[in-house]
Structure formats: structure tokens, C-alpha cells
Amino acid sequence: MTAGLWHAFAKINLGLEVGRLRPDGFHEVRTVYQSIALADLLEVHPAPRGIAFTCEGEEVPPGEENLVVRAARALQTAFSCKKGARIRLLKRIPVQAGLGGGSADAAVALLALARLWRLPATPPDLLPLAASLGSDVPFFLVGGTVLGVNRGEEVYPLPDAPPLSIVVARSPRGTSTREAYGRLDGRLTPGNTLFTLQRIVSGIVEGKVGEGLFFNRFEEVTGVPEGDAAALAHAVSAVGGRLLLAGSGSAWLGLFTGREQAQEALRRMAHRGSKGLATHTLTRKDYWERTVPSQEKESL
């Protein structure tokens, strides 16, 4: 028996404001998360005991350092579960890119293993456990368009944002989240509590938000796009759209209201000898229909 092949979809941040450092060591964050169609694949199988984890594709932390393994251990502890699993991860989401791949994998591991082990846990039940694994992990138990507050772990579903076509391009060097926040600290004042997401949230609720409103505070300390990301920046300048940093970096995004713009951006990048990944946003309905294997949908 297997819990099937689960999709762990990446995210972008349509708006990302970072505030002061909190007493608990985390920064105050206000963000609008958005699911996109770029995904890792997670397969789980029952085992008599223990957690056996393998990964193909992008290099990720091994063993107990990996978020998928940590999610499995946390779920076992929370439910006093002694069952085991074999977990295989096919990694497609670029790492250290700001796309939330590790967090998506952890959240989907919670869902898949809860089903495999027949634990009494719905996605809302798993939110506290997800928050203990990472600030953005709870988002992946909601999906679609979501407001995140506090350190980003407190999530509130929003109406689906208007659809966007997206081109993802990587800079040559990855950026860890810790490093990115460290760079930004010098620009934050202790009393900084000004958050500027209201116009984005209002526009989403009213169904008329434009890509010109999207922003990311980390762009202040990231520097100019390089490599494939520089080619994307030139393409966006030529064809229109919005260039936006993905999360804390290092990937950059070209956001377009039409697929034709995205395709033209990819062509212009190719002429420069660069490449990008084409994807698009997901509604919350699409997110859940595509995340969960068909045989598991009725049990969620």
C-alpha cells in the first residue's frame, strides 16, 4: 500500500514586508503568499519502523537535517506513532531560491504521512506542527492566495488573486534565509512597524490588483540580478510585466498578466544564452486538486 504521489507546490510572495526583530529571535513579517505550479514530488510507502529518506534532483540536506525527515519525526512524536515510512523526494524546485521548496516538502510530508499512518489529523489540525518546522510551512497547508502575519506562520486565506504567468530565473549564487535577514537588519529601525500590504490585500479582495503593486523588501539588500536573472530583467524591461525577487532570494520572477508576454520573455532570454522556468499561479481549488493523489482526496 502507498499513499501515492503527492505534489509539493512552490510559492512566491506578492508582497513581503519585514519589520523589527522580535524578542523570540524572529522578525515581524507581513506577506501575501501565492501558490505556483512549480512542484517537487513526494512518494511515501509504509515501513515497519523508522524513516528511510532518499532524494533525487537538487542537492538537499541529508538525513535528520532535512525538513521532510524532521516533519516525519515531529508527526510521530505528536501522535505517539511508532509506524515507519519510506519517503522518496524528487526535487524540482530550485533550492535557496526563495520559492519555499523545503517548506512545501515538509508540509506535504505531514499530509501524506498522516494519511499513510491513518492519524486523526486534518490540514487545520497540522498547522501548529507546521509552524514549529518553519515560518512559511503553515501556508502550504492552505494554498492559493494567503495573508501571512506575525513571523509569517499565522495564515489567513484570501480570495484568489488574478492569474499570472511567471518566468523564474536564478542568480548564480544561492542565498540562505538567515543570510538574507542578516543583510536586511541594518536597514530596519527598532520601531519599524509600518507595513504596506493594505493596497495589495484590498486589490485582491476587490478583484483588481495589478502587478505594479507587488513588492519585496529584500530587494533593498539583494543587489542587481545576475546571470539568467539579469537576462530576465532585460526581457521584462522590453516586454512589460513586473520583475520581483522571490522570497529572500536568490531567484527572480517575471510576472505577466498574459502567457504571450511570458513566452516572449523566454525567447529573449534564450537569445542571450540564458534560460528560465515557465510556470503560473494556482487557485486554492487547483492547489488542492493537484497536491493530493486522487485516491486520498476523500480522506482530507
Residues involved in catalysis: 11, 136
- Cis bond upstream, residue 103 (ω within 30): no
Burial classification of residue 297, based on how many CB atoms lie within 10 Å of its CB (0-12 exposed, 13-18 middle, 19 or more buried): exposed
Q: How far apart are CA 104 and CA 139, in angstroms?
A: 8
Q: Grid coordinates standing for 105?
A: 516538502
Q: What are phi and psi of 14, to 5 degrees?
A: -70, -25
* Closest listed residue to residue 216, CA positions, set 199, 189, 197: 197
Give the HSE-up count for residue 255: Cα atoms under 13 Å, Cβ half-sphere: 25
Q: How far apart are CA 155 and CA 30, in angstroms?
A: 10
Q: Grid coordinates standing for 139?
A: 501556508
Are 100 and 35 contacting, i.e. CB atoms less than 8 angstroms apart? no
Side chain identity, residue 194: L
Q: How far apart are CA 67 and CA 85, in angstroms?
A: 15
